[in-house]
């Protein structure tokens, strides 16, 4: 229903669906932020932000880039959950403008003031929570309210980030709050879409062993993950936290093994979802090792952020962009190149922590891989998201579906 209504939109196609502008601009922001970060890291570039360079980098990834992707996904999924009309046109453009204003306000907060930056930045997630709650309640789709609840916690973490950096000089707890929310969202949403998409493809193209659908075991893993993450937020280097992290990491590996990902190697658009999820248990296990003093904590954090968040966002962005514009659900060579770049970036970023003697080279490899992946998405999918037609498909090398031929 929502898809049919969206096709009747008479305005600029970019504002026909929420995934179009948010996926596109989130990818551009992700690439440009990392392009600026390495010179900032080496003291060769500065921005007029009230945040220290490290905090600016973390904030713009955690509370800038990721909320845009989450919003693009959320407001694309909600019409399917509720049967209500999607947010499009002027309201969607206004929401995007608020997000952009937050990016500018944070980057120039040394000039505008930290309080103004807080209000301008937090306004975006506040509007997202309000609009999503209204749509879900109006559609009677109560079971998806926990997703909005997690976004509300993300909003609280963002506000705390601004307050913490202003009064304490650097962010700490608020970083872990945001990361914890992101991992729970990946666990919750990924645990539903990965086995579902895998089952649909296997039934059609590779009959045999099928993934186990979301059930009580998955719910228990999500619940235990939440408890372990709360412990990590409060005391990341505590021995009890380390044990909890290790146990939950193993449970996520068991969960992943139940989804028959080994049978999806023929379709990279599907395989990448399983590969991206591997970084979730890896992050838990690396954080467990860090809690026992054997690794720096940033190893697990980058497994989650560069690995799980980076890979899963690109996996969802590419699949949703193809599927919701009526294209064939298959990974073209360009899309596979995007996937290869983000995997290299994630592995290099974790390795830079584990192998400090090679950190300089590995950081540059990670940054280049990340930039190529997200800039590659913007270049390859930009024509499709901003417009439509065969020229956009030809740019990516994606075959048109029968409705587009």
Task: Report, in angstroms and rounded to the nearest whole number, the Rg of the chain calculated over CA atoms.
Answer: 20
What is the rounded CA–CA span in Å between residue 233 and residue 20? 34
In a domain, 372, yes or no: yes
Same structural domain, 83 and 136: yes
| Domain edge (last residue) among 123, 156, 171 | 171
Tallying the residues shown for the chain, one arrives at 405
Asked if 400 and 261 sit in the same domain, the reply is yes
Return d(Cα 284, Cα 232) in angstroms, integer.
10
Whether residue 55 is contained in a domain is answered as yes
Residues 165 and 239 in one domain: no
Burial 276-312 (b: 16+ CB within 10 A, else e): bbbbbbbbbbbbbbbbeeebebbbbbbbbbbbbbbbb
pLDDT at 11: 82
Give the model's pLDDT for residue 259.
98
CA distances from 247 to 224, 253, 283, 284 (A): 9, 10, 12, 9
Q: What is the DSSP letter of 328?
A: -
Give CA–CA dist 262/276, Å, rounded: 13
Specify the pLDDT at position 399.
Answer: 52
Question: Do 93 and 213 fall within a single domain?
Answer: no
Rounded to an integer, what distance in angstroms lies between the CA atom of residue 403 and that of residue 377? 23
CA distances from 159 to 5, 64, 171, 255, 382 (A): 36, 12, 11, 33, 32
What CA–CA distance (Å, rounded) separates 57 from 33?
7
Do both 19 and 82 map to the same domain? yes
* CA gap 88, 91 in Å, rounded: 6
Final residue belonging to a domain, choices 171, 197, 231? 171
Q: Which two tokens stand for residue 337?
A: 């190149």
Q: Give the pLDDT confidence score for residue 388 in this predicted structure.
A: 59
Is residue 187, in this structure, part of any structural domain at all?
no
Among 379, 383, 303, smallest CA distance to 338 is for 379
Give pLDDT, residue 97.
98
- Give me the pLDDT at residue 227, please: 98
pLDDT in tens, the chain (405 residues): 344 445 567 788 999 999 999 999 999 999 999 999 989 988 999 999 999 999 999 999 999 999 999 999 999 999 988 888 889 999 999 999 999 999 999 999 999 999 999 999 999 999 999 999 999 998 888 888 899 999 999 999 999 999 999 999 999 999 999 999 999 999 999 999 999 999 999 999 999 999 999 999 999 999 999 999 999 999 999 999 999 999 999 999 999 999 999 999 999 999 999 999 999 999 999 999 999 999 999 999 999 999 999 999 999 999 999 999 999 999 999 999 999 999 999 999 999 999 999 999 999 999 999 999 999 999 999 999 998 544 444 444 555 543 332
Name the token pair of 345: 């970036």
Tell me the two tokens of residue 184. Answer: 């729970």
Is 383 a member of any domain? yes
Separation of alpha carbons 253 and 4, rounded Å: 39
pLDDT of the residue at 397:
54
Please check whether residues 151 and 3 belong to one and the same domain.
yes
Whether residue 201 is contained in a domain is answered as no
Q: Is residue 138 situated within a structural domain?
A: yes
Q: Are residues 259 and 311 in the same domain?
A: yes
Q: Are residues 263 and 326 in the same domain?
A: yes
Q: Is residue 373 situated within a structural domain?
A: yes
Q: Is the domain of 125 the same as that of 37?
A: yes
**Is 326 in the same domain as 231?**
yes
Write down the H helix ranges in 89-144.
90-107, 109-112, 114-138
| Backbone phi and psi for residue 389, each to the nearest 5 degrees, phi listed first | 110, 180
Q: In the chain, how many domains are there?
A: 2
Distances (CA, A) of 12 to 77, 154, 387: 21, 31, 8
- The predicted pLDDT at position 384 comes to 95
Residues 46 and 99 in one domain: yes
Cα 242 versus chain centre, distance: 25
Domain assignment present for residue 191? The answer is no
What is each CA distance from 316 to 189, 341, 391, in whole angstroms?
11, 16, 23
What is the C-alpha separation between 159 and 173, in angstroms, rounded? 12
Query: 85 and 33 in one domain?
Result: yes
CA–CA distance, 263 with 30 (Å, rounded to integer): 32
C-alpha 220/C-alpha 89 separation (Å) is 40
The residue out of 145, 171, 197 marking a domain boundary is 171
pLDDT number for residue 179: 98
Please give the structure tokens belonging to residue 326. Answer: 């009526």
The whole domain housing 280 covers: 209-405
């Amino acid at each position: 229903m929502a898809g049919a209504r969206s096709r009747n939109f008479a305005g600029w196609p970019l504002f026909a669906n929420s995934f179009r502008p948010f996926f596109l601009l989130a990818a551009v922001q992700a690439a440009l932020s990392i392009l600026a970060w390495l010179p900032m890291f080496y003291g060769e570039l500065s921005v007029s932000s009230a945040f220290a360079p490290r905090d600016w980098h973390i904030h713009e990834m955690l509370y800038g880039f990721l909320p845009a992707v989450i919003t693009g996904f959320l407001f694309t999924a909600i019409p399917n959950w509720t049967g209500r009309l999607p947010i499009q046109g002027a309201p969607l453009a206004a929401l995007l403008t608020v997000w952009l204003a937050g990016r500018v306000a944070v980057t120039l907060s040394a000039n505008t003031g930290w309080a103004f930056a807080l209000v301008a930045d937090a306004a975006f997630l506040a509007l997202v929570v309000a609009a999503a709650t209204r749509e879900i309640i109006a559609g009677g789709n109560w079971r998806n309210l926990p997703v909005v609840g997690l976004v509300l916690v993300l909003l609280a973490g963002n506000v705390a980030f601004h307050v913490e950096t202003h009064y304490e000089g650097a962010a700490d707890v608020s970083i872990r709050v945001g990361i914890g929310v992101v991992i729970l969202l990946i666990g919750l949403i990924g645990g539903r879409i990965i086995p579902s998409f895998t089952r649909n493809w296997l039934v059609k193209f590779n009959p045999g062993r099928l993934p186990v659908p979301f059930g009580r075991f998955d719910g228990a893993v999500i619940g235990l993950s939440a408890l372990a993450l709360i412990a990590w937020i409060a005391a990341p280097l505590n021995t009890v936290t380390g044990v909890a992290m290790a146990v939950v990491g193993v449970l996520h590996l068991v969960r992943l093994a139940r989804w028959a990902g080994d049978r999806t190697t023929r379709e990279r658009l599907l395989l990448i979802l399983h590969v991206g999820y591997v970084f979730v248990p890896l992050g838990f296990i690396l954080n467990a090792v860090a809690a026992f003093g054997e690794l720096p904590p940033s190893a697990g954090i980058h497994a989650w952020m560069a690995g799980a968040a980076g890979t899963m966002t690109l996996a969802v962005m590419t699949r949703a962009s193809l599927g919701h514009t009526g294209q064939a659900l298959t990974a073209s060579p360009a899309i596979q190149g995007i996937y290869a770049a983000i995997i290299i970036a994630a592995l290099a970023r974790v390795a830079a922590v584990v192998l400090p003697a090679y950190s300089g080279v590995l950081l540059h490899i990670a940054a280049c891989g990340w930039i190529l992946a997200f800039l590659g998405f913007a270049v390859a999918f930009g024509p499709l998201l901003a417009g439509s037609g065969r020229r956009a498909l030809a740019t990516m090398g994606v075959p048109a579906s029968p409705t587009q031929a």
